[in-house]
Structure 1
Amino acid sequence: MSAVSSRLPVFPWDKLEPYKATALAHPDGIVDLSVGTPVDPVPPLIQEALVAAADSPGYPTVWGTPALRDALTGWCGRRLGATGFAHENVLPVVGSKELVAWLPTQLGLGAGDKVAYPRLAYPTYEVGARLCGAEAVVYDDPTELDPAGLKLLWLNSPSNPTGKVLPKDELTRIVAWAREHGVLVFSDECYLELGWEADPVSVLHPDVCGGSYEGIVAVHSLSKRSNLAGYRAAFVAGDAAVLGELLQIRKHGGMMTAAPVQAATVAALGDDTHVAEQRARYAARRAALKGALEAHGFRIEHSEASLYLWATRDEPCWDTVAYLAEKGILVAPGDFYGEAGARFVRVAFTATDERVDAAVKRLG
């Protein structure tokens, strides 16, 4: 048996363990700003919906309940501006990371095919390409790529790790280029609700796609907007032909969102109040950390959206990681996201208010 894991890069987070040990030794404990995992409570109305659906002895469906599909199509229209959406335009998935990692395989890609993603990017885009044996290609501007053999183009706006937002006209230009060359676009928009100095736009907005979803799919997650990382609640929306094919494949694979999670998703997408409340928490933490880092001599680039600050002291990123670890603050090195991040660190503002305050004091 050949080890599939041999195709994959070393799991990057394992490299942080020595620095985590240093940060843990701080007298006041660690401030872990390395992973963007939610720490605030799941909103009560979502918990209540989950509990109410707990008596679910039967198998859920891969496509989800009609109520879930109604919630997904309704939210895409209300929040993203998508028009003419039907149930065929949406598909729930078991967390967005699962989708990103296995999408090239489920699309039937393999040797000789290319999967493209931003030069600075979430590492799972590369993992997905490697799992199916396709060639991983990075870009600064996707329209400068050779479209020959290019089967899947990943967009990510707002970006993880940089927080960069692609303007509407840029998205429009990229979508038009991809359609001209028959390249399928998947747009990872999981941080779209978290714009601070920019207003992120979906590829599903009619100004971008012209009211047609041919060749485009958006990826969305409830992990950040609703503190549901533990629920694995996400979905894809867009081209009905692409989603129909994925639905058939995922039925065979048994890739079902748990029934209580489907009910919780309906509740989460039907309520905007908890999203605004969580945004306010993140906005305060972001302002505190940004001010403290800048006062300490860091430069913040991009970071106009998402849950991260893309920061540099103009030194190798691991030197910065070590420096902050001595202060009991753990951050992610920029080279986790590509060689272009070698002099940056990604600072998450997903810690509690108390831990963020501790980091601010240590940087003061």
Structure 2
Amino acid sequence: MALDLPDFPWDALTPFADEARAHPEGIVDLSVGSPVDPTPAHIREALAAATDAHSYPQTAGSVALREAIVAWYARRRGVPDLQPANVIPTIGSKEFVALLPTLLGLGPGDVVVQPTAAYPSYAVGAAVVGATVLSSDEPDEWPEATRLVWLNSPGNPDGRVHDLAFLRRAVVRARELGAVIANDECYAELDWTSAEPTPSILHPDVTQGSRQLTLSVYSLSKQSNLAGYRAGFVAGCSDVVTELLAARKHLGLMPPAPVQAAMVAALGDDTHVVAQKELYRARRETLVTAFASAGFRIEGSRAGLYLWATRDEDSWDSVATLARLGILVAPGSFYGAAGARHVRVALTATDERIAAAAARLAAGRV
């Protein structure tokens, strides 16, 4: 029998998507954070040059890729002491998020902690193994049965950013419990208050000389427009990474060799990341102004690809109102009870579609 999992949330958006598509000037789809800009040429060229991939790739990643990941953490995340044994590539980050409870051997009676406003895949991974989910942002609330803690900074959907002091407190509590703690950091390069990335859970001020039970999870989908490549990685505690690698070898979870080559090219160049951030910054500024003028309040949203917007009404009422204008957004209820009166607005649309959304919000009765 198939696993008994929750319904896929975005299926519930179908009637609203149909209404938005019926708009005379077409839909503006701001419901999913799927990049719309081209993959940088040097990355595509690296992929093409590696297409003579006649042998199986390494589950652990090529030496060049592991070294590139280590160098990127040192250069961009303030994590200077990683070694290749501390990192492995993943097939995007979602498969790792959803499979981590399985790979760690969790089961009934174990608790998986997630943020109060949470990406649905954290809970899905727990459901696969029959573990219990606790939504909590306060380490003191995490119970003795906790075996995995998910942090998400920058947060999806709300753009929250945890500082080093909070990350340190969370790591200390997880170690007291003997729990693995993983920070999903895939929006780190998109901090709208700084030219630098947001703090990593592997920063020396957090780890204090030990990466025990601590993982950083990352994806190149957002900063490098590689969503279609499925290019991610995890870094941290070498003991945990080694155990995960052994399981992943059995399951055949290996990124294709051409994708690994493309990741090396992406990680070695910061220029394209800065350029992409500026494209998103301009779109963000347009949408912040437009939604505010339409009576929405933007909360959090310090970093990442989304605006966390509210008019203090049920999230589905906001979705319905915007769909009538041909604008599709995601209801905050997809992310838990904390989002029941918010909507998530993605920045991932073309400049033309972003401008169209702004014009409709200005002209429409919202």
User: Normalised by the size of structure 2, how large is the TM-score?
Assistant: 0.97
Say what the alpha-carbon RMSD is for the aligned residues.
Answer: 0.9
Pairwise CA distance, 1:85 = 1.2
For residues 122-161 of structure 1, what are the structure 2 equivalents within 5 Å? 122-146=119-143, 148-161=144-157
Establish whether residue 286 from structure 1 lines up as the match of residue 284 from structure 2.
yes
Match in the other structure for 1:178: 174
Pairwise CA distance, 1:178 = 1.5
Matched residue type, 1:165: V
Establish whether residue 333 from structure 1 lines up as the match of residue 326 from structure 2.
no
- Which of 191, 197, 200 is matched with 2:187 structurally? 191
- Cα pair 1:205 1:211 within 8 Å, conserved: no
Find the residue that maps to 1:229 and give its secondary structure. coil
Pairwise CA distance, 1:62 = 0.2
Find the residue that maps to 1:151 and give its secondary structure. strand
- Which of 318, 321, 324 is matched with 2:319 structurally? 321
- Cα pair 1:225 1:275 within 8 Å, conserved: yes
Pairwise CA distance, 1:64 = 1.0
Establish whether residue 90 from structure 1 lines up as the match of residue 87 from structure 2.
yes
Q: Which range is displaced more, 21-30 or 195-204?
A: 195-204
Give a deviation string over 1:277-301, Cα, whole Å, max 9, x none: 0000000000000011001110000
For residues 1-364 of structure 1, what are the structure 2 equivalents within 5 Å? 2-4=1-3, 6=4, 8-146=5-143, 148-197=144-193, 200-364=198-362
Find the residue that maps to 2:239 and give its secondary structure. helix
What 5-or-longer segments of structure 1 have no aligned partner? none
Matched residue type, 1:20: A
Pairwise CA distance, 1:271 = 0.2
Matched residue type, 1:3: A
What 5-or-longer segments of structure 2 have no aligned partner? none
Find the residue that maps to 2:175 and give its secondary structure. helix
Matches of 2:2 and 2:23 in 1, distance apart? 40
- Cα pair 1:156 1:189 within 8 Å, conserved: yes
- Cα pair 1:115 1:151 within 8 Å, conserved: yes
Matches of 1:77 and 1:14 in 2, distance apart? 40
Matches of 2:41 and 2:209 in 1, distance apart? 36
Pairwise CA distance, 1:180 = 2.4
Matches of 1:166 and 1:267 in 2, distance apart? 29
Pairwise CA distance, 1:207 = 1.1
Pairwise CA distance, 1:341 = 0.6
Matches of 1:234 and 1:106 in 2, distance apart? 17
Pairwise CA distance, 1:213 = 1.0
Pairwise CA distance, 1:142 = 2.7
Runs of 4+ off more than 6 Å: none
Aligned residues between the structures: 360
Q: Which range is displaced more, 217-226 or 191-200?
A: 191-200
- Cα pair 2:147 2:177 within 8 Å, conserved: no
Percent sequence identity over aligned pairs? 57
- Cα pair 1:83 1:211 within 8 Å, conserved: no
Find the residue that maps to 2:209 and give its secondary structure. coil
Matches of 1:257 and 1:181 in 2, distance apart? 33
Matches of 2:64 and 2:80 in 1, distance apart? 19
Pairwise CA distance, 1:140 = 2.8
Pairwise CA distance, 1:234 = 0.2
Matched residue type, 1:201: P
Find the residue that maps to 2:54 and give its secondary structure. coil
- Cα pair 2:139 2:169 within 8 Å, conserved: no
Q: Which range is displaced more, 61-70 or 189-198?
A: 189-198
